[in-house]
A and B are shown apart, each in its own frame.
Chain A
Amino acid sequence: MSHVFSRNPLEHMLLLSAVIFCAGVYTILTRKNAVSILMGVELVLNAANLNFVAFSQYTRIGGMHGNVFTIFVILLAAAEAAVALAIIIGIYQNFGGVDVDQADNMKE
């Protein structure tokens, strides 16, 4: 019975967040579009948040700290999304597109 969620909730949550994390990493690695890369980053952050909350709720080790860190991560993701939106619009205005391959002026 140990493979059922209610018997082993922590490991189920960890496996689920591992899958979401890998999907996010794949998105970051393969996309050229800056907005899609931002979505991949959000997936990775959500996977990390799931781990935080799972460890905080299903173990006695950390107490409430995992939940508090999740709050911080959500707030920082909001700030990151705002700045990323501004940067993406700047790239779009300057390069005529949002493909990150085009914005390679720092190479030269």
Chain B
Amino acid sequence: MAASDFILNVVFYALAAAAVGGAVAVATSRNIVRSAFALLAVLFAVAALYAVMKADFIAAAQVLIYVGGILVLIIFAVMLTHRITDVKLSNDSTPGPAAFCACLCLLFSLVVVILFTAKWRRDSDVATLNNKVFEVALRQYQSDGSTGIQFGGTALEDSVVVSADVLVVPDASRSVDQVVFTVSAPETRDAGGKDQKETPEKEKEKEPAAKDLDDVSAKDVQVQSTFLPYAGRTQTYRHTFEKLPVGDYHWRVKLVGHEKDVKGELQSAEWTFPAAKTDFSVRKGVTEPIALALAGPYLFAFEVVSVLLLAALVGAAFLARKEVKGV
């Protein structure tokens, strides 16, 4: 496990503990002011979890609106409706074992659904979980002293990240020298063979981006070759292919060594999009897509919500304007 992964795990579990502890404190505390501050902890922890998920704008909005607005409103409600000195009697709760059992059953069913829904598993389903469009489907040892894995797929965006987890054995003489990522153009994949004959103009316009570091044949669009300095542990190697036109592609991740039988193991390979990446290294914020969505297909809904917010604030001001007589 990489160091960034370790930090990510520690941060997540700390935040999860804070959120769960705060939520339980909100549910069980006898003191309503303590409940309000536990809710503050929960809201901050959830904001930090948004940041962990790289939803930076959501995290900022959570802090701004929830902590800065809603929680202040709730604390105002506490202050306006109770004498703050006798908070003991203010937060009475019915001793509900039935409610407790109901919530446990709810939690149990939710956990069962979450853990045993096969669609969320990363096994084989394409394009479901975690941007893992391709998992290890086959592992083959090729005759030229390399371990390769091949995928086919469609590039939906102009930038695609191909990454591979590689385990290199410590035996230096038969170890892996390089990890080669290859993207083949759709025409050449259909051609199939060694020869490349069709659509020369398309090949021409891809040619400046191509880095031919290896002896992989010229039909491949881009080649990235990475040296492996470490042995004996799993490492993740990735390469970003930029400016790919939309289309079907053939991906290949290959381990190349100088001996015939390479003692490396390609543990997994995946193909992800940088806009929704899950790893810690490459980050791209979520602010711009949200802005585009709000100004585009969600513009009407956004305006409706704005009007609703205005109506709610006017209604709240009207309700709290004076004491309502004669109920």
Interface residues of A (CB under 8 A from B): 1-2, 4-6, 8-16, 18-27, 29-33, 35-36, 38-40, 42-43, 46, 49-50, 53-54, 56-61, 63-65, 67-68, 70-72, 74-90, 92-94, 97-99, 105
Contact = CB atoms under 8 A, between A and B. Distances in A.
B309 to A, nearest CB: 5
B94 A30 contact: yes
B246 interface: no
A39 B312 contact: no
Interface in B125-163: 127-131, 133
A64 B99 contact: no
B172 interface: no
B319 A9 contact: no
Contacts of B110: 18, 21-22
Interface residues on B, range: 35 or more
A35 B77 contact: yes
B305 A31 contact: no
Interface in B56-114: 57-58, 61-62, 65-66, 69-70, 73-74, 76-78, 80-82, 90-96, 99-100, 102-104, 106-107, 110-111, 114
A67 B103 CA distance: 28
A26 B130 contact: no
Nearest to A21: B110
Contact of B305 (A18, A72, A98): A72
Interface string B6-21: 0011001100100110
A60 B78 CA distance: 42
B313 interface: yes
Given A33-B90, A76-B305, A50 B130 contact: no
Interface of B: 1, 5, 8-9, 12-13, 16, 19-20, 23-24, 26-27, 32, 35-36, 39, 42-43, 46, 49-50, 53-55, 57-58, 61-62, 65-66, 69-70, 73-74, 76-78, 80-82, 90-96, 99-100, 102-104, 106-107, 110-111, 114-115, 120, 122, 127-131, 133, 273, 276, 278, 280, 286, 289-290, 292-294, 298, 301-302, 305, 308-309, 312-313, 315-320, 323-324, 327
A53 B104 CA distance: 25
A21 B312 CA distance: 25
Contacts of B308: 76, 79
Given A83-B315, A90-B320, A43 B26 contact: yes
Given A40-B26, A68-B298, 19 more contacts: A16-B19, A20-B46, A25-B106, A30-B27, A31-B91, A32-B94, A36-B93, A49-B46, A58-B129, A61-B127, A64-B290, A67-B286, A71-B294, A77-B70, A85-B74, A85-B76, A86-B318, A89-B320, A105-B327
A32 B96 CA distance: 11
